[in-house]
Structure 1
Amino acid sequence: MKHDEGVEPAMAHEAKGSGSIAEKVAHQVAAQSEAARRLMDSGVTIWRADTCVIDPGVEVGAGTVIEPFVQLLGQTTLGSGCHVRSFSVIENCTVADDVLIRQSCVLAESSIAAGAKIGPFAHLRPGSEIGEDAHVGNFVETKKARLGKGAKANHLAYLGDSDVGEGTNIGAGVITCNYDGVNKHKTTIGKGCFVGSDSTLVAPVTLEDGSYVGAGSCITRDVPAGALAIGRARQVTREGWAEARRNRQGKVD
């Protein structure tokens, strides 16, 4: 294909001209490499810095360890003595001292207080505030959620538009049902509460201090302090039912 004389094809110009994609990428890589060197000079350990993406605006305290394939993006700040394991992505977050972020976590626009433990495979969406010594475990997602000191959500939970008090334990599979199809609503859980596994909390709802929720419950009304709430069907057990069914249907080899 012929081009008019003196007119350079656009792709060729982008490949070698000023401001080309290749040049922009090279500039970004150089800036990130300089950021990694700056952090290591200040006492941060970065294993395999060539595999990490660290933006120039990132600040990290001395004694923190960054494992391979970590991304620290935007204006993220990490304190001293933290440990960020491989494949985690942290963007525009504030992380205090002595925080452990396990493998493959995704954190955005959130804050994490000292001594907290996150992950593996946790997702902190914007507006999350994780308190001192709190735990957010594997496959837990938070959004506009505040966890108080020592609160724990260790397995397979969703906490959206939620306030969780100090020392409260959130069981596996717990969901705050914050969206009614039109508006978002808040779930408030007090101090020292226990929410049993596989429970759904239909917002707006409040669990007062020291209350318990039985596993597998659907909670639609407020729970007073120190009370036990159970919202599930009563179990029915029929002895001998399985054998009788097999006899009716006939045995299959």
Structure 2
Amino acid sequence: METATICWQGTRMSTQRDFAAVILAAGKGTRMKSDLHKVLHPIAGRAMLDHLMASVDALAPSEKVVVVGAGREQLEAAVEGRAKTCLQEPQHGTGHAVQQAESDLAGYEGDVLILYGDVPFVRSSTMEMMLDRLHEQDAPAVVVLGFEPDDALQYGRVIANADGHIEKMVEFKDASEQERACTLCNSGLMAVKGADLFDLLRRVGNDNAQGEYYLVDIVNIARGDGRHSAVVVTDDPGEVAGINSRAELAAAEAQWQELKREEAMAAGVSLKAPETVFFSWDTELGRDVTVEPNVVFGPGVKVADGAHIKSFSHLEGATVGPNCQVGPYARLRPGAVMEEDSFIGNFVEMKKTTLGPGAKASHLTYLGDATVGAKANIGAGTITCNYDGYFKYQTVIGERAFIGSNSALVAPVTIGADAIVAAGSTVTRDVADGELRMERAEQSVKPGWADRFHDTMKKKKAAEPKK
């Protein structure tokens, strides 16, 4: 199956150079107004920090160090086993933040890539471009990633000559009017040789409008040493967009979703109303998949060639096989597996259930902790009673079995191949292959009872005093 994998970082890349990544994530993130650390807020079902780390990991770094501060416990737990952490406390600016990684990188002389946890969309190829520029023949001391937004706003400026050599780095608050007229802005991302980085940082002062130790000052210090630095410019300003508020988080989500919809359609997926379909970072869709309006893909969904996902369906942790149909108004929860040509219709929910080839549950059904054989038919209103308040139990439905409408299958229970469960049955014991099981009270017929009842009630009603 050829699939469109909907994930930002793209294919794995590699570099022969030894490098470490320092990711700054010590800020309080007060504009988020959240108990969750800013960089752990999700975009497309994945923490923004994890988006960034996935792009870093594609280049196989020697070391990753995350600089933490406020909410350190959350970050330490989030990156445990994947990166080192170091503490910045108190917080005196970006230069001071990077300095905190010195002990973790003691004696390290490879390249150092400086990134920001709230700038999640930086591509692996852009990081590699920065590292490559650091080793070009003119040997810059520092490489800065620049960008040219539609509106430069209050970004710091990069003053550079035609060769891309930086003449000055300046924060907006400290810039002259002439410097503010420059449209080349500083993303804050840098590449520096490990042998140079901390020596430069030790000489950074805080004589500026904010009284902070600015990382950008290492460029000016290197220039004072007679060394030059260089700027490389991203062709997509969106990849260096920082996220500091709920509104910016929503804008980042919209940016991500728009790109992924375009990628999906380019790979052979039909989206009837693209702006209403939402993907997760790891969604995989095959060729000739059709997705109708208002469909949401949670994390962990794979959809094979030719499947049709109808309107208002929600899928998470599910696998949909070739030529399956889902919905409308269906919910596939984690562990749901639909095999080839199977079908679920409106208001059907599946959880930890495998629906065999050609099997169908057309409407108003819950299938939990179950295995449904090939070409079985699950009638409307059927449920698997899989939970007794303490434990979950399995239901097994054989091939070509027919489950009548409004049936309750009380697990653990097995329905044999070609068996029939009559409508309205509550099944608590196994049903053998080819057996008919009817579990309902015998109907009682009382001729004329309804007519007598209606006559009695009408007379009683007529005798009531008028109000």
Common fold by TM > 0.5: yes
1:66 and 2:271 matched: yes
Q: Paired residue for 2:393?
A: 185
Q: Paired residue for 2:352?
A: 144
* 2:406 aligned partner, one-letter code: D
Deviation at 1:140, TM superposition (A): 0.3
The verdict on how the C-alpha distance between 1:23 and 1:155 changes in structure 2, with shifts beyond 3 A counting, is closer
1:29 and 2:254 matched: yes
* 2:281 aligned partner, one-letter code: G
Q: Paired residue for 1:95?
A: 303
Deviation at 1:33, TM superposition (A): 2.9
Runs of 4+ in structure 1 over 6 Å off: none
Which secondary structure state, in structure 1, belongs to the residue aligned with residue 315 of structure 2?
strand
Which secondary structure state, in structure 1, belongs to the residue aligned with residue 369 of structure 2?
strand
Q: Which runs of 5+ in 1 are unaligned?
A: 1-9, 43-60
Q: Paired residue for 2:205?
A: none
Q: Paired residue for 1:202?
A: 410
- Give 2:320's match in structure 1, choosing from 112, 131, 134: 112
Q: What is the total number of aligned residue pairs between the two structures?
A: 222
Distance in structure 1 (CA, Å) of the matches to 2:281 and 2:405: 36
Which secondary structure state, in structure 1, belongs to the residue aligned with residue 399 of structure 2?
coil
Deviations 1:200-226 (A, max 9, x none): 000000001110000000000000000
TM-score by length of 1: 0.82
Distance in structure 2 (CA, Å) of the matches to 1:31 and 1:74: 9
Distance in structure 2 (CA, Å) of the matches to 1:241 and 1:25: 64
- Compute the RMSD of aligned alpha carbons: 2.1
The verdict on how the C-alpha distance between 1:188 and 1:247 changes in structure 2, with shifts beyond 3 A counting, is same
Which secondary structure state, in structure 2, belongs to the residue aligned with residue 159 of structure 1?
strand
The verdict on how the C-alpha distance between 1:202 and 1:27 changes in structure 2, with shifts beyond 3 A counting, is closer
Distance in structure 2 (CA, Å) of the matches to 1:216 and 1:86: 35
Select the structure of larger CA radius of gyration: 2
1:20 and 2:244 matched: yes
The verdict on how the C-alpha distance between 1:36 and 1:119 changes in structure 2, with shifts beyond 3 A counting, is closer
Deviation at 1:79, TM superposition (A): 0.5
Q: Paired residue for 2:283?
A: 76
Which secondary structure state, in structure 1, belongs to the residue aligned with residue 279 of structure 2?
strand
The verdict on how the C-alpha distance between 1:96 and 1:244 changes in structure 2, with shifts beyond 3 A counting, is same
- Give 1:38's match in structure 2, choosing from 259, 263, 280: 263
The answer to which of 140-149 and 237-246 deviates more is 237-246
Distance in structure 2 (CA, Å) of the matches to 1:84 and 1:207: 34
The answer to which of 174-183 and 238-247 deviates more is 238-247
Higher RCO (C-alpha 8 Å, min separation 6):
2
* 1:66 aligned partner, one-letter code: L
Deviations 1:24-77 (A, max 9, x none): 44444333333333344x3xxxxxxxxxxxxxxxxxx42x21122011112010
- Give 1:124's match in structure 2, choosing from 326, 332, 342: 332
Question: Any conservation in 1 of the 2:386–2:411 contact (CA below 8 Å)?
Answer: yes
- Give 1:156's match in structure 2, choosing from 350, 364, 371: 364
Deviation at 1:90, TM superposition (A): 1.1
The verdict on how the C-alpha distance between 1:155 and 1:23 changes in structure 2, with shifts beyond 3 A counting, is closer
- Give 1:242's match in structure 2, choosing from 450, 456, 464: 450
Question: Any conservation in 1 of the 2:309–2:328 contact (CA below 8 Å)?
Answer: yes
Distance in structure 2 (CA, Å) of the matches to 1:27 and 1:104: 23
TM-score by length of 2: 0.45
The verdict on how the C-alpha distance between 1:178 and 1:75 changes in structure 2, with shifts beyond 3 A counting, is same
Q: Paired residue for 2:216?
A: none
Q: Paired residue for 1:232?
A: 440
Which secondary structure state, in structure 2, belongs to the residue aligned with residue 188 of structure 1?
strand
Distance in structure 1 (CA, Å) of the matches to 2:454 and 2:254: 67
Q: Higher helix fraction: Structure 1 or Structure 2?
A: 2
* 1:172 aligned partner, one-letter code: A
- Percent identity (aligned): 40
Distance in structure 1 (CA, Å) of the matches to 2:314 and 2:288: 20
Which secondary structure state, in structure 2, belongs to the residue aligned with residue 248 of structure 1?
helix
Deviations 1:137-178 (A, max 9, x none): 000000000000000100100000000000000000001000
* 2:294 aligned partner, one-letter code: F
* 1:147 aligned partner, one-letter code: L
The verdict on how the C-alpha distance between 1:243 and 1:192 changes in structure 2, with shifts beyond 3 A counting, is same
Distance in structure 2 (CA, Å) of the matches to 1:250 and 1:138: 42
Distance in structure 2 (CA, Å) of the matches to 1:122 and 1:160: 14
